[in-house]
Structure 1
Amino acid sequence: MTSAPRIRFTGRTALVTGGGSGLGRAIALAFAAEGANVVVAGRTEGPLKETVGLIEEAGGAAIAVTADVTRSADLAALVSATVERFGSLDVAVNNAGVLRAGQSVADLSEEDWRTLLDINVTGVFLALQAEVKQMRTQQGGGAIVNIASVLGTHIRRPGTTAYATTKAAVSILTKGAAAEHIQDGVRINAVSPGPSDTAMSLLPGESEAERTERMKNATPLGRVSTTAEVAAAVLYLASDDAASVVGADLVIDGGGAA
Structure 2
Amino acid sequence: MSASKKFAAVTGAGSGIGRATAIALAAAGFTVALIGRREEPLLETRETISVAGGEAHVSGADVTNESSVESAFSRIAERFGRLDVLFNNAGRNAGAVPLDDYTLDFWNDVVATNLTGVFLCARAAWRLMKQQTPQGGRIINNGSISAHSPRPNTIAYTATKHAVTGITRSLALDGRPYNIACSQIDIGNAATPLTERMTLGVLQADGSMAPEARIDVTHVANAIVQMASLPLEANVLNMTIMATAMPFVGRG
Could you tell me the TM-score, scaled by structure 1's length?
A: 0.86
Partner in structure 2 of residue 239 of structure 1: 229
In structure 2, distance between residues paired with 1:235 and 1:223: 23
Determine which of 225, 236, 247 is the counterpart of 2:215: 225
Distance 2:210 2:31 in 1: 38
Structure 2: segments with no counterpart, 5+ residues: none
Q: 1:148 aligns with which of 143, 148, 151?
A: 143
Alignment of 1:106-185 (within 5 A): 106-138=100-132, 139-152=134-147, 154-185=148-179
Partner amino acid for 2:42?
L
CA apart distance, 1:162: 1.5
CA shift digits 1:155-214 (9 cap, x unpaired): 1111222111111111111111110112211100110101110122233xx7x5x36xx9
Residues of 2 paired with 1:10 and 1:230: CA distance? 25
Q: 2:215–2:243: 8 Å Cα contact kept in structure 1? A: yes
Matched with 1:28 is 22
Match of 1:87 among 65, 77, 81: 81
Q: CA RMSD in A?
A: 2.3
Q: CA deviation at 1:218?
A: 7.0
| Range with bigger deviation, 233-242 or 157-166 | 233-242
Report the Cα distance in structure 2 between the residues aligned to 1:105 and 1:250, rounded to whole angstroms: 30
SS in 2 for 1:151: helix
Aligned to 1:257: 248
Instruction: Give aligned pairs, total.
Output: 239
Preserved contact between residue 183 and residue 238 of structure 2 (Cα < 8 Å) = yes
Correspondent of 2:13 among 15, 19, 22: 19
- The corresponding residue for 2:41 is 47
TM-superposed deviation, 1:242:
7.0
Bigger shift: 50-59 or 137-146? 137-146
Aligned to 1:23, the other structure's residue is in SS state: helix
Mapped contact 2:190–2:243 kept (Cα < 8 A): no
- Alpha-carbon separation, structure 2, partners of 1:140 and 1:228: 30
- 1:140 offset after TM fit, Å? 4.1
The CA deviation string for residues 38-64 of structure 1, in whole angstroms up to 9 with x for no partner, is 110111100000001111111111111
1: CA distance between counterparts of 2:102 and 2:4?
A: 45
Mapped partners of 1:54, 1:146: distance in 2: 24
